[in-house]
Structure 1
C-alpha cells in the first residue's frame, strides 16, 4: 500500500494552539484559532504488515537513504526508542501509542521519497507521525477517523523529546482546516476554496531559536503581570481571532487579495505585540527584508512569517500562477533563497450524476413486466403526473448537475430515448395545451443532458455503477437510486444538501437517515464519529443490511438512542477511485449474495480516502415495493 502525507503550513493564528491551552487555568483568555493548509510536498511511503517488528527505511529531503531501523513490537522497546529523540523516535512513539490502544502486529515502512524540507516550520516530523498512524490504521483497519489519526500522531510525537504544537498534526487532513483550542478541547472544521490560490514559501536560510521564542512567549501566560504580557495575550487572543475569522471567510470565497491584505495586517500586529517579548528572535531582519523586497511587490497580494516566526520561512500569496513563477525566479536569483510552490486547490465541482435503472423490478411483478418500475407514474408537487425517473433526474439537475447517466438494459434504450429525447407526434402535440407544449420543450432540453449506458447483464448494484466508469471518467459523481424519490425539509433539495456537504469536506459523502432497528434489514448501515452536531459523520464502517445483534454491538453511534441507527439515504457523492475497487471485485469474481455489491467497495474507499456521512434533512420515498409505491404516490406530492 502506498501512502502520501503532506507537510502543513499555518496561514493564520500561529501560537494559538498552546495559548488557547492555557484556558485550563485562566478562563478569561480567548480561545485559540488557527487556519492551516497542506503543502504540496510531503512524505511518500510504501507500507506492508510485518508479523513481529516495526521496520523503517527512510529517505531524507536531500535524497540520502537511511535504515532499515528495526524494533520489536513491544511496548518497552518502542517507548525507550521514542525517548531517545532520534529520527526513528517519531515512528517508535506512534507505534507505542498504537500498541497501547489496539491489538496489532508489526509494520514495514519504506519512506522512498521525501520532498518536504525539514525544520522550516512545515511540520516534517508531524508528517512522519501521521504517516505511521495512517499506515497502522489502514493496514489493520483500525477504523480511526482522520481526527483519530491526528490525535494518535500527536500522542506518539510527544512521547519523544519533541514539543510539537497541537496544530502540527493537522497535516492529516486533505483540505484546509480551521482549528480552535479551548484548554484540552480541540475542534476541527474542514472547508474548501472555490478557486485555486497560489502561494510561495521561502526558506530564508537564516537561523532562529524556536525554543527561545516559545520560552519567552510562555512566560506571558496564564496571567499577564505587565503591559508586555498583556500585549502578547491580546494578539494571540482577540486580535488573532478576528483576523483568522476574516481570513476564513476570504479563503472560502477564494478572495486572494483579501487574504494578502490580512497576511500583511497579521504581520504588522504580530510585530507590534510580540517582538518586545523576544526581540533577539522576532525582530527577524531577514524575514522583513524579504517581505518588503521591492521587485516582488507587483506580483504579490501580501505575505507574513511562518510558524513561530523569526528568520525561518516566509509565505506569500501571489496574484496568479504566472506571478508565482515570477516571484520564485526573482527571490532565487536576487536573494539566493530556495522557494517552494504551494497551491491551495479548489474543490472539484460535481458535474455528473449516475442513476441505475436497469433492474427488472422483481418485487413489482407483474406490473414491471409491462412498464419499467422507473417509469411508474407519480404526482409531483405541482400536481403534474410524470414517471418517477423524471423526478429523480430533476432532483439532480436542479441541484446543479450538468450531465446525467442512466444505466439501462439494452432493450430499454428506445423506451428511455422515446420519453426524454423524442417529441410527441404532431397530431398529439397539437392537442396539448400551450403550457404542455412548453413542457415538451423542457423535456427535450432535460433529455439533452441525459446519456444512456447499458448494463447487459444485471449482476448487482456495484456492477451497475461500474458500467458508468468510462462515462464518468476521472471526476467525482453524484449517485442516486432509480427507485427512490426525495423530499427536502429545507430550501435546498436533498441532492443539493449532499453536494454541499461534499464541497465542504472535499471527499466522498453518503447521505444518511436515522432509522429504527426494526427496519435495518432493508438498508445499508454506517457507523462513525460525529464531526458536527449530529449532522456530519466521519464514517468508520459500512455494513449492508445488518441484523439487530450485529448493529447493536458494532454500528451504534454515540449520542443516538439505543435502537436508532444511521442508514444510507440513497444519495452519494463518490470519488472516481471507487471504480478501481469495483474492478477488482469483478475481475476476481468476488460476489456477495450472488452479486457485485457497492457497499464493500465503499468501505474500501473509506479506508484509503476517507468518507463522510451527512444526515439529510428530508425524506426518502421508495417505489420498489407495492405498498411503498402506493404510499409514495400519496405522500410525495405533499413532500
Structure 2
C-alpha cells in the first residue's frame, strides 16, 4: 500500500457519565464490592474528527495541535509498549496499537486528527475516544470484522497500558450518542440502551480548574481495595449499594421522561459522593469550583439539579435545565457572570 491510499473519515465522540462514576472499576473487585457496578452514560456532541489511511511499514499520527510533534514509528510491538507506559501525549495511541498488533496483522497506518472539540482532562473521556478511534481505524482499514464491543475491549486494554487506571465505562463512546445502562460484574460488562421518554436539556460546564485524574483513580482504588477504616468502608458503600439504588431510579425516570426526578437524583448522588468518596482524595475532590457553580443562586430556578462529571473534581459539571429557554438563560448566566464556557447536550 502506497502513501497515495484513500483517506477514510472517522468521528468518535466523547462520553458523559450521567450517574455512577467510578462504578466500572469498583465493580471489577467483586470480592470487595457490595454489588456489581452500575452507571448511565451517553456519547457527547463533541469528539474527534480524523482522517486515516493504510501505510506500509510505518505508523504515523498527527495531532491538530501545532506544538505536538507527529508520532512516526515502525509497527513494533515492544516500542509501542514502551511509549504507552511512558505516559506521554501519544501513549493512548501507542497502547491501543500494541494491543491490536497482538492479534491482528496490521502493517501500518496514518492518522491525521483534523479537529477535536472535546476538552482534555475534563471527564469527557477524550483519552478513551482516542483509543476507540485507533481501534476503529484499524478495523475499518483492514476489514477486521470487529463489532463495537471488540473495539471497546481493544481500546480498554490499550489504555490500561498507560499510567491511566481507567475502568470499562469510558469506551462506551464507541456506541455514539446513545444513552446506555451499564453493569460491571467482575470482568463481565452488560450494555442496555435506554429509550428516553421525554426531552432532557443538559448543560455541560467547563470549570476551567485543575484536575489530576490519575491521582484521583490511584487514591480511590487504594482506599477501595485496602482501606479498612471509615473512608474505605464509605467508598465501598457509595460505589456499591447506594449507587445501585440511585441508578435504577434514574433509569426509570429517564424512560418515563421525568426530568425533575432525574435532577433530584443528581443532587442526591453528588451529596453521597461528597460525603463518602471525596475524603479518599481530598486534594482533588473538594472541588471548590464545582460547588460554587452548583450552589450559585441565580441558577437555582433554572435547573432541576447538577453534579460533577467523570472522575469528578474541578474539571466539568453537568446541569439539567428545566427547559430549553431555561438552558439558554443558564448558559448565558454562567458564561457572562462566572466566565465559564458551556456545551449543550440533548
TM-score, length of structure 2 as denominator length: 0.92
In structure 1, what is the equivalent of residue 189 of structure 2?
Answer: 186
| Superposed displacement of residue 224, structure 1 | 5.6
The secondary structure found in structure 2 opposite 1:104 is coil
CA shift digits 1:142-188 (9 cap, x unpaired) = 11110110111111112222222221111111212111112222222
Distance in 1 between residues matched to 2:325 and 2:132, nearest whole Å: 33
| Superposed displacement of residue 194, structure 1 | 3.9
| Superposed displacement of residue 82, structure 1 | 2.2
Matched residues, number: 338
The secondary structure found in structure 2 opposite 1:120 is coil
Q: 1:225 aligned to 2:228?
A: yes
In structure 2, what is the equivalent of residue 12 of structure 1?
Answer: 19
Distance in 2 between residues matched to 1:252 and 1:181, nearest whole Å: 21
Which of 31, 39, 54 is the aligned partner of 1:34? 39
Which of 29, 33, 43 is the aligned partner of 1:22? 29
Question: Gapped runs of 5+ residues in structure 1?
Answer: 344-639
In structure 1, what is the equivalent of residue 103 of structure 2?
Answer: 101
CA shift digits 1:455-485 (9 cap, x unpaired) = xxxxxxxxxxxxxxxxxxxxxxxxxxxxxxx
CA shift digits 1:488-541 (9 cap, x unpaired) = xxxxxxxxxxxxxxxxxxxxxxxxxxxxxxxxxxxxxxxxxxxxxxxxxxxxxx
| Superposed displacement of residue 74, structure 1 | 2.3
Structure number with greater CO (CA < 8 Å, separation at least 6) is 2
Distance in 1 between residues matched to 2:163 and 2:283, nearest whole Å: 25
Is the Cα contact below 8 Å between 1:56 and 1:67 reproduced in 2?
no
The secondary structure found in structure 1 opposite 2:284 is helix
CA shift digits 1:43-87 (9 cap, x unpaired) = 001111112221111214xxx464442211222232232233222
Which of 49, 59, 76 is the aligned partner of 1:44? 49
Could you say if the C-alpha distance between residues 70 and 276 of structure 1 is closer, same or farther in structure 2, counting changes exceeding 3 Å? closer
| Superposed displacement of residue 235, structure 1 | 1.1
In structure 2, what is the equivalent of residue 74 of structure 1?
Answer: 76
In structure 1, what is the equivalent of residue 60 of structure 2?
Answer: 55
| Bigger Rg, structure 1 or 2 | 1
Is the Cα contact below 8 Å between 2:224 and 2:235 reproduced in 1?
no
| Superposed displacement of residue 299, structure 1 | 1.5
Q: Pick which of 277-286 and 178-187 moved more.
A: 277-286
Could you say if the C-alpha distance between residues 87 and 219 of structure 1 is closer, same or farther in structure 2, counting changes exceeding 3 Å? closer
Distance in 1 between residues matched to 2:243 and 2:153, nearest whole Å: 24
Could you say if the C-alpha distance between residues 196 and 109 of structure 1 is closer, same or farther in structure 2, counting changes exceeding 3 Å? farther
CA shift digits 1:370-398 (9 cap, x unpaired) = xxxxxxxxxxxxxxxxxxxxxxxxxxxxx
Distance in 2 between residues matched to 1:256 and 1:38, nearest whole Å: 19
In structure 1, what is the equivalent of residue 269 of structure 2?
Answer: 266
Distance in 2 between residues matched to 1:161 and 1:232, nearest whole Å: 22
After TM superposition, list the pairs within 5 Å mapping 1:597-616 onto structure 2: none
| Superposed displacement of residue 226, structure 1 | 2.5
In structure 1, what is the equivalent of residue 123 of structure 2?
Answer: 121
In structure 2, what is the equivalent of residue 500 of structure 1?
Answer: none
In structure 1, what is the equivalent of residue 3 of structure 2?
Answer: none
| Superposed displacement of residue 211, structure 1 | 3.7
Could you say if the C-alpha distance between residues 194 and 141 of structure 1 is closer, same or farther in structure 2, counting changes exceeding 3 Å? farther
The secondary structure found in structure 2 opposite 1:81 is helix
Is the Cα contact below 8 Å between 1:32 and 1:181 reproduced in 2?
yes
| Superposed displacement of residue 138, structure 1 | 1.1
CA shift digits 1:184-230 (9 cap, x unpaired) = 22222223324442211111122234344334323333366233322
The secondary structure found in structure 1 opposite 2:51 is strand
| Superposed displacement of residue 277, structure 1 | 3.0
After TM superposition, list the pairs within 5 Å mapping 1:95-244 onto structure 2: 95-174=97-176, 175-222=178-225, 225-244=228-247
After TM superposition, list the pairs within 5 Å mapping 1:503-518 onto structure 2: none
Is the Cα contact below 8 Å between 1:17 and 1:34 reproduced in 2?
yes
Question: Gapped runs of 5+ residues in structure 2?
Answer: 1-7
Distance in 1 between residues matched to 2:291 and 2:265, nearest whole Å: 16
| Superposed displacement of residue 275, structure 1 | 3.3
Distance in 2 between residues matched to 1:142 and 1:57, nearest whole Å: 23
Could you say if the C-alpha distance between residues 208 and 68 of structure 1 is closer, same or farther in structure 2, counting changes exceeding 3 Å? closer
After TM superposition, list the pairs within 5 Å mapping 1:393-472 onto structure 2: none
Distance in 1 between residues matched to 2:131 and 2:148, nearest whole Å: 13
Is the Cα contact below 8 Å between 1:224 and 1:233 reproduced in 2?
no
In structure 1, what is the equivalent of residue 5 of structure 2?
Answer: none
